[in-house]
C-alpha cells in the first residue's frame, strides 16, 4: 500500500514539475511568437517597398532588354526587384528568428541563423554586380554599334558589339560567383582563359573583317604615291 502511495506521489510530483516548467517557459514562448509575427509583418512591408523602389528605377526593364538580346527570343525574365525583395524579406525574417530563438534560449539555432545572415550580404552584392554588368553590357554594345555607324564602317560591327557585350556579361557572372564564394580558384582560371579567348576573337574579327579596309587603304596610298 505504501509503495502504491509512493508511486502515486512520484507521478504527482513529476506532473507538477512539468506544469511548473511549462508555465515558466510560457512567457518566453509567447514572446517568441509575438517577435516572429511582428517580424513577418515588418519583413513583408519592407520587402514590398524595396521591390517598388527597384521597379521605379526601371532596372527590370534594362535587364529584360539585355536578356532578350542575349537569348535572342522571349524567355523567363530574371527580375532584380523580385530577387532583392526576397533577399530583404528573408534577411529580416532571419533577424527576428534569431531574436526569437535567443528568447527561447536556443543558442545553437541562433548561431546557425546568424551564419546564414552573414552570407546574405554576399547575395545582395552578387545581384548588384550582375545588374550593373547587364546594364553596362547593353550600354557598351550600343556604344560600339553607334561608333561603327558614325564612322560609316560596318566592318564586323555586330561581331565586335556582341563580343563586348558577352565579355562584360561573362566577367560580371564570374565576379558574382566569386562574391558568393563558389569555387574561386576555378573561376579565376576560367577568367584567365576567357581573357585569352576574347582577345583572340577580337583579333580575328579585326584581322579577317579588316582585310578589305586594309586593301583599300593600301590602294589609295599607292595611287597617291604614283601621282
**Dihedrals φ, ψ of 92, to 5°?**
-65, -35
Q: What value does the mean pLDDT take over residues 65-77?
A: 60
Task: Rank 7-16, 39-48, 49-58 by mean pLDDT and report only the highest.
Answer: 39-48
In the block, cell 532571419 appears at 94
Query: Does the pLDDT value for residue 36 go beyond 80?
Result: yes
Of the candidates 25, 27, 47, the residue with the CA atom closest to the CA atom of residue 35: 27
- Cβ atoms of 126 and 180 within 8 Å: the answer is yes
Q: Which CATH architecture has domain 119-227?
A: Orthogonal Bundle (1.10)
Average predicted confidence (pLDDT) for the chain: 73
- Residue ranges per structural domain of the chain: 1-105, 119-227
pLDDT digits (tens, 9 = 90+) for 54-69: 888 887 777 777 666 6
pLDDT at 174 over 70: yes
Res. 37 pLDDT band, cuts 50 70 90:
very high
Cα–Cα dist 217/221, whole Å: 6
- pTM, rounded to two decimals: 0.59
Amino acid at each position: 500500500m505504501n509503495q502504491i502511495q509512493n508511486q502515486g506521489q512520484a507521478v504527482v510530483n513529476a506532473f507538477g514539475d512539468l506544469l511548473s516548467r511549462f508555465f515558466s517557459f510560457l512567457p518566453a514562448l509567447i514572446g517568441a511568437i509575438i517577435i516572429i509575427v511582428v517580424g513577418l509583418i515588418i519583413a513583408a512591408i519592407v520587402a514590398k517597398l524595396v521591390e517598388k523602389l527597384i521597379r521605379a528605377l526601371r532596372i527590370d526593364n534594362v535587364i529584360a532588354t539585355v536578356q532578350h538580346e542575349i537569348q535572342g527570343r522571349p524567355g523567363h525574365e530574371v527580375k532584380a526587384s523580385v530577387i532583392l525583395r526576397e533577399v530583404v524579406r528573408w534577411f529580416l525574417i532571419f533577424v527576428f528568428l534569431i531574436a526569437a530563438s535567443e528568447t527561447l534560449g536556443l543558442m545553437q539555432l541562433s548561431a546557425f541563423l546568424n551564419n546564414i545572415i552573414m552570407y546574405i550580404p554576399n547575395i545582395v552584392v552578387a545581384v548588384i554586380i550582375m545588374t550593373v554588368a547587364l546594364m553596362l553590357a547593353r550600354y557598351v554594345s550600343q556604344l560600339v554599334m553607334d561608333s561603327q555607324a558614325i564612322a560609316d564602317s560596318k566592318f564586323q560591327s555586330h561581331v565586335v558589339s556582341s563580343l563586348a557585350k558577352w565579355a562584360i556579361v561573362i566577367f560580371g557572372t564570374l565576379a558574382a560567383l566569386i562574391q558568393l564564394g563558389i569555387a574561386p580558384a576555378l573561376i579565376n582560371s576560367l577568367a584567365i582563359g576567357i581573357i585569352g579567348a576574347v582577345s583572340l576573337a577580337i583579333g580575328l574579327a579585326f584581322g579577317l573583317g579588316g582585310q578589305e579596309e586594309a586593301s583599300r587603304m593600301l590602294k589609295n596610298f599607292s595611287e597617291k604615291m604614283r601621282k
